[in-house]
Structure 1
Amino acid sequence: MKNVTFTAFISAMALGASLAVAQTITPTRVGPVSQYGQLMTGKNSSGKGQIYGSCEGVKDGAEVQVRGMSLYWSLMPQALEFWSEEGIATMVNDMKIQIVRAAMATGDEDWKGEWNGIQLKGYAVDPKNQKQFMKTVVEAAIKNDIYVIIDWHSHKANQQTDAAKNFFKEMAQTYGQYDNVIFEVFNEPEKISWSDVKNYANQVIEVIRQYSDNLILVGNPEWDQNPSAAIGNEVNDSKNNTAYTLHYYANSHNWEGTYNWGGESEGLKGEKAMNAGLSVFVSEWGTANSNGGGDPNQGRNQSWQEYLNKHKLSWANWSASYISEGTAAFQGGSNKTSLQYTTSGNLVKGYLSTNPESYTKCPTGEQGQGQQGEGQQGEGQHGTAAFFSAPEFGLNISLTGKTLHVSAPQAATVEIFNTLGNKLFAIDHVRGELSLATLPVGRYMVRVRSGSATTMRAIAIK
């Protein structure tokens, strides 16, 4: 029989109830999220850390690389123009972005900016407006079926732990059921120890995991240039879905080798982290100098692009704004419905031009580990029996009537989604049988995770 703790069961039911009354945001197109599903960490057959999608699962050749733009700090009108539904849609249509990063100011910042009558100040001073800016971007991303990074854009997040926990609790409760959403809990730690970063991250991750198993990004010391610091000392994540960020600016940082003073290049440290089994995500990079200024060096940018593509690293370029900086993508005449590009913006738009023109919705009968084959079939002919498995991992799942049977080498997590892709509930520590009798008649998706194995299929309750 199933082994489900009372707490886990009540939490799952409460989550399901809250989602039942929450407003559902429906995509207006088929985009990368429909094709790849939830982003998830994993290792290839060589043990290298990569990012995968729940549609195909963790397997060689199924690595996912998504590319797009990072919004500038939510403190200036030259940036807030694009923190809008129209701004996101324009970048999707004109630049083919697959992901957007919302870099929310978290402290008491006041750069004397004003937007639509709002005096722009950081979250510590004005949480209401900062959260609304974030929600606008997140919902626009969901409508456009692209990924969105909810970024706690701070250099001192470890001094803002309680505020961050409250913020991410609300974000995870509200949007954690959408595969689009990624949580970046610490933008760029400055010169503090990895243990300080980890201690902070563990507390915030624990809060997020009460409501969502979506991908989480964690920064590392000295402005995210040391992802290898986490090797053998990873954060605590009950869902094992955390990646470590690498930030670079092409004129200032190197993609390979060592520096004359003996230090390893940023690219080398990223590669070391991946080879040690950690997944890496480039949530911010710039075409010019690390202070945002300078002119883009095309040769150095090309070398960095080759590095990113070689390692299939997802990225967001800094910045979608018309701030007076060399790394800003847009010229001053731009607005949320019309983009005029700087040298940097034209360069980045060129890189993004190889993103797909269109996407194909993940075939529900083929999600998870591997393809259907002998002994594997999708929904039963009459919706009363189905069998699917990831046998190479010892994971076998079957559905009889309204009872899900789980055979796995270790206790599994079972998640149920409606046909819009919204998670209804999740139950941990499942072994043997799990009754789905509380589900109304209809079609659903079930995802089962046990250890490194994941499988997902369509089912029908009649």
Structure 2
Amino acid sequence: MLLQLLLCLLALFFPGLAAAEESGGCCPHGKLKVSGTQLLGSDNQPVQLRGMSLFWSNFPEGSPFFNEQTVQCLKCNWHADIVRAPMGVEEAGGNKGYLADPATEMAKEEAVIDAAIKNCMYVLVDWHYTSATAYPDKAEEFFKKMAAKCAGKCNCLYETWNEPTQVDWSSTLKPYHEKVIAAIREQDKDGVVIAGTPTWDQDVDKAADDPIKDKTNVMYTLHFYAGEGSHKQPLRDKAAAAIKKGLPLFVTEYGTTPASGDGTPDLAETQKWYDFLDENKVSYINWSISNKGEQSSALQEKTGPADVCKDDKDTTSGAFVKKMLRAKQPALPQGCAAPAA
């Protein structure tokens, strides 16, 4: 009886803990699900996640940040509630990816998942490449392993193809997503899956006209770079039209700069995007935690995981995004120690 009373008190004062008890793991909003155009928490209330993406796992500018120190700083210093872990798929610039060295890349991905679970954050498991080439068999292999690791936990979401380029939705992308979703569902019956859309995740209208059928907890990817000429009001109008048709969107990646990653951050346009996404309760994740030395990087060059918690190591873009994240969640996240005076 005393134990039941204690659990009731915990549920009253710490609803996230109650959701954790119910779903496995611990998460800010419990186990997530999709209803209509909205992401919902375990209490059936709309949820909007905001956080940071790491860089490609197979690039030296990104891989050092695939660890618990980074994840903990993103939660406690940045006030992010989700971290994206981009699994570098293809080899690029001499950097092997999952296709060439799956064991090495899997270890990095799993380190971030473990850290997110330990720190009560959401983690987006991202099959990350920008291409017109599909790798359905390798994607199935990867996501089966990740879904088996995440099954029974509230923490994991799945992004099945980062940025398809000029790929037809109905004949190629939709069947690909259906195949990969089926593989995920063998292990994780109800984790939220986010399906990439054509033309670098711009053509959400194509998905809205022919959505994936008979699959629950599926959302669709929208990407934007605020400094890119074609990523301004017309793209917001396209997104609004897709939402009006009932398509649930998730911005798994956005930048404050042009799409190249360089160029002056357009902070005014980024704020317009924030206003639009907040109005529609669409979640969004910024690119990226890296030390690459490009304007879209949140950190300055020659930084490492220990610098993620240091405000003076942020770039202009990083400081702007961090200020937004802290403003959206001003209270110190649960489980974080107050910074030293």
Instruction: Provide TM-score, normalisation by structure 1.
Output: 0.63
1:189 to 164, 167, 187: 164
- For 1:231, the equivalent position in structure 2 comes to 208
The verdict on how the C-alpha distance between 1:237 and 1:156 changes in structure 2, with shifts beyond 3 A counting, is farther
- For 2:140, the equivalent position in structure 1 comes to 165
Deviations 1:397-433 (A, max 9, x none): xxxxxxxxxxxxxxxxxxxxxxxxxxxxxxxxxxxxx
1:42 to 29, 32, 35: 35
The Cα of 1:157 is off from its aligned counterpart by 7.0
- For 2:122, the equivalent position in structure 1 comes to 147
1:164 aligned partner, one-letter code:
A
- For 2:64, the equivalent position in structure 1 comes to 81
Provide the rounded CA distance (Å) in 1 between the counterparts of 2:135 and 2:214.
20
The Cα of 1:156 is off from its aligned counterpart by 3.5
2:245 aligned partner, one-letter code:
A
Provide the rounded CA distance (Å) in 1 between the counterparts of 2:144 and 2:279.
36
SS in 2 for 1:178: coil
Provide the rounded CA distance (Å) in 1 between the counterparts of 2:231 and 2:210.
25
SS in 2 for 1:34: coil
Provide the rounded CA distance (Å) in 1 between the counterparts of 2:251 and 2:32.
14
- For 1:338, the equivalent position in structure 2 comes to 307
- For 1:291, the equivalent position in structure 2 comes to 260
Tell me, yes or no, if the aligned pair for 1:287 and 1:301 is still in contact at 8 Å: yes
Equivalent residue runs for 1:200-349 within 5 Å: 200-212=176-188, 213-238=190-215, 240-252=216-228, 253-256=230-233, 265-339=234-308, 340-349=313-322
Given the alignment of the two structures, is residue 95 of structure 1 paired with residue 78 of structure 2, yes or no? yes
Provide the rounded CA distance (Å) in 2 between the counterparts of 1:35 and 1:200.
31
Given the alignment of the two structures, is residue 122 of structure 1 paired with residue 97 of structure 2, yes or no? yes
User: Hey, which of these two has a bigger chunk of strand by percent?
Assistant: 1
Provide the rounded CA distance (Å) in 1 between the counterparts of 2:120 and 2:105.
23
The Cα of 1:236 is off from its aligned counterpart by 3.8
The Cα of 1:323 is off from its aligned counterpart by 0.8
Q: Larger deviation: 350-359 or 158-167?
A: 350-359
Tell me, yes or no, if the aligned pair for 1:321 and 1:330 is still in contact at 8 Å: yes
Instruction: Provide TM-score, normalisation by structure 2.
Output: 0.85
SS in 2 for 1:281: strand
The verdict on how the C-alpha distance between 1:123 and 1:157 changes in structure 2, with shifts beyond 3 A counting, is farther
The verdict on how the C-alpha distance between 1:121 and 1:52 changes in structure 2, with shifts beyond 3 A counting, is same
Q: Larger deviation: 149-158 or 87-96?
A: 149-158
Provide the rounded CA distance (Å) in 2 between the counterparts of 1:353 and 1:127.
36
Provide the rounded CA distance (Å) in 1 between the counterparts of 2:208 and 2:267.
32
2:50 to 46, 56, 67: 67
Provide the rounded CA distance (Å) in 1 between the counterparts of 2:143 and 2:153.
14
Which residues of structure 1 form unaligned runs of 5+?
Answer: 1-26, 44-48, 113-119, 257-264, 362-462
2:306 aligned partner, one-letter code:
T
CA RMSD of aligned residues (A): 1.9
User: Hey, which of these two has a bigger chunk of helix by percent?
Assistant: 2
Provide the rounded CA distance (Å) in 1 between the counterparts of 2:76 and 2:307.
11
Tell me, yes or no, if the aligned pair for 1:161 and 1:200 is still in contact at 8 Å: yes
